[in-house]
Amino acid sequence: MTPVQMFRRVLEHSLVGFCIFLIVALTVLISAAAITRKFGVPFGWYDEVASVMLAWLTYYGAAYAALRRSHIGVPSIVGLMPPGVRVALVLFGQALVLGFFGLVAWFGWQVLVILEGDTMITLPWVPVRLTQSVIPIGAVLFIVADLLTLPERLAEAAQGAPARDGELAEVLR
């Protein structure tokens, strides 16, 4: 196994583990909040924390989906093109994705700079920079995941093989 493959595997397992942790923690938090509300002693902070956890799950889950090549795409249309055109389309699409997430990472970092000193409303000891750090981190993880799958996509495009549809492959498994 090459170092890149090992890194990809570690990244995949880390993202899965963190997403599972977030799902379980979110489930426990919301269940506990519902129970305490029923007994008249609700958490005043659970709503704010739950929305942050859901945003984190979205960003880290998107990076995992990119690593699995399971994002929305049109591989069947690309697969109908001649190999040279396919490679060009893959590279063009890659440039768009990297450019977009590069901007998200950059502006996400700018948001963190602006939010310095702000804290959550219901938990004043938690900095907002921590909760919003998911924006640049998630964008960078998406870029890394996308770059890790690029050689695979280029090889498929150059060989004339139809582009792999990650979601379809998952369903068929």
- pLDDT tops 80 at residue 70: yes
Q: Domain limits of the chain? A: 3-172
Q: What is the pLDDT of residue 153?
A: 87
pTM recorded for the entire structure = 0.86
Q: Mean of the pLDDT values across residues 114-132?
A: 93
Beta bridge partners of residue 127, listed in sequence order: 119
Proportion of the chain above pLDDT 70, given as a percent? 92
- Can you tell me the distance from the alpha carbon of 3 to that of 19, in angstroms, rounded to the nearest whole number? 24
Lowest average pLDDT, out of 48-52, 68-72, 103-107, 158-162, goes to 158-162
Q: What is the pLDDT of residue 79?
A: 78
